[in-house]
Amino acid sequence: MTSLLTAPQASASTARLPLSGLLALALTGFIAILSETLPAGLLDQIADGMQISQAMAGQWVTAYAVGSLLTAIPLVTLTQGWYRRRALLMAIAGFVLFNGLTALSTDNHLTLLLRFFTGAAAGLAWGLIAGHARRMVAPAQQGKAMAVAMLGQPIALSLGLPIATWLGTWLGWRATFAVVTLAALLLAGWVVRAVPDFPGQPAGKRPAAMGVLRTPGVARVLLVILAWILGHNILYTYIVPLLAAAGMATQVGQVLMTFGLASLAGIALVGLWVDRHLRGLVLLCLAGFALATLALGQVQGSVWLMHASVALWGLTYGGAPTLLQTACADAAGEGGDVAQSMLVTVWNSAIALGGIIGGLLLTGPGVTVFGAVVLGLVALAWLAVLSGQRAGFAAGVR
């Protein structure tokens, strides 16, 4: 829903952002991502400590993703009438309770169930963060607020997971989960102090999920999310065999660091321009991702080209959550929270499909076809954005 800035909005665009509250939302996202990916960095310790295989330990990530995938829409719909901070605190309480019990559990079946419920808490959190950030500022600042609130994801991936992995090697995986639990407990206090509360939607005005999905532009944004994030995860999930094929199997840590730092730069740039150029930024980022994908196919052992390609990939992906959640919320209007829960579901579906499709390609024709598949998905997303000038990715200033 695009409109020209009015005079009050223009002056509001220069007002000071409520950084403390927005950073509390960012830390919520940080803990959500760290809770999801932590087993990947502690696979050996978990397998040894629980006396299970590494493959089974990997299912701790799967159980978490399934929890988010299956419960995001029902939980956000169920809590529409709640005061918003109360719902957010319930999600954070889920991180405290289920991560804390995971640190104590000695039974793998129980732990898988706990991981499912932790994922459910994350699904609720992700369904609330964007809408809460937008309510905290004037419309002219919503893009910038979203950029700050979305900082948690790339920081968790680029810095949080390596630090947590080091901590797990030093103190053990149980202590690492305990530290994350303590961080979530401290976050709850921060949210109470710094994040304002907002009323939920009255019973007669709560939009149904299908009604929100039929809102012009919402389905288009979700299609773009599915294609873009699926393409990204085919490459990201199987970055190790990609690097091995390029003769750079020992460069995984350095390459992922390049990606993470470039992602942070992408968030900063998107935060500066999202309120004026959302549509153009999405088209530009997709074009840059396509160029990075083409370059990755030409690396042939060139270290500088690999890092340059991954840097471009990270730069164009870093702002994707801000861009796509802003577009989704703009299109959905009053149904924004329900639309965000749909976004969480589609996003997690794309992550899961990226692992499945990438695995099938890897065991079939191999990594050489990754580029063609990803480029096809990027082209689909680009065309969907291009044709969404009236709804979903409208032209002009937000």
Do residues 200 and 84 lie in contact, with contact meaning Cβ atoms separated by under 8 Å?
yes
- Two tokens at 212? 């929100």
Domain that holds residue 50: 18-203
Residues 109 and 221 in one domain: no
CATH code of 275's domain:
1.20.1250.20
Do residues 21 and 148 lie in contact, with contact meaning Cβ atoms separated by under 8 Å?
no
Q: What letter would DSSP give residue 4?
A: P
In whole angstroms, give the CA distance from residue 188 to residue 148: 18
In whole angstroms, give the CA distance from residue 127 to residue 201: 15
Poorest-pLDDT segment among 45-54, 193-202, 333-342: 333-342
Mean pLDDT of 288-301: 88
Q: Which of 88-92, 129-133, 153-157, 294-298 has the highest mean pLDDT?
A: 88-92
Q: What letter would DSSP give residue 158?
A: I
Of 157, 181, 203, the position where a domain reaches its end is 203
Q: How many domains does the chain have?
A: 2
CA of residue 126 relative to chain centroid, distance: 8
Residues 41 and 145 in one domain: yes
Could you read off the pLDDT of 353-364 as tens digits, one per residue? 887 888 888 888
User: Is the per-residue pLDDT at 20 higher than 80?
Assistant: yes
Does 12 fall in a domain? no
User: Is the per-residue pLDDT at 9 higher than 50?
Assistant: no
Mean pLDDT of the chain: 87
Residues 118 and 84 in one domain: yes
Does 3 fall in a domain? no
In whole angstroms, give the CA distance from residue 162 to residue 177: 14
Task: Check residues 101 and 7 and name the one with the higher pLDDT.
Answer: 101
Residues 100 and 240 in one domain: no
Residues 242 and 284 in one domain: yes
Does 5 fall in a domain? no
Residues 279 and 358 in one domain: yes
Mean pLDDT of 262-289: 91
Could you read off the pLDDT of 116-172 as tens digits, one per residue? 999 999 999 998 998 899 899 998 888 888 888 988 887 887 677 777 878 888 889
Of 166, 183, 203, the position where a domain reaches its end is 203
- Two tokens at 378? 């990027």
Task: Say what the pTM is.
Answer: 0.77
Do residues 216 and 331 lie in contact, with contact meaning Cβ atoms separated by under 8 Å?
yes
User: Is the per-residue pLDDT at 230 higher than 70?
Assistant: yes
- Two tokens at 225? 């999310």
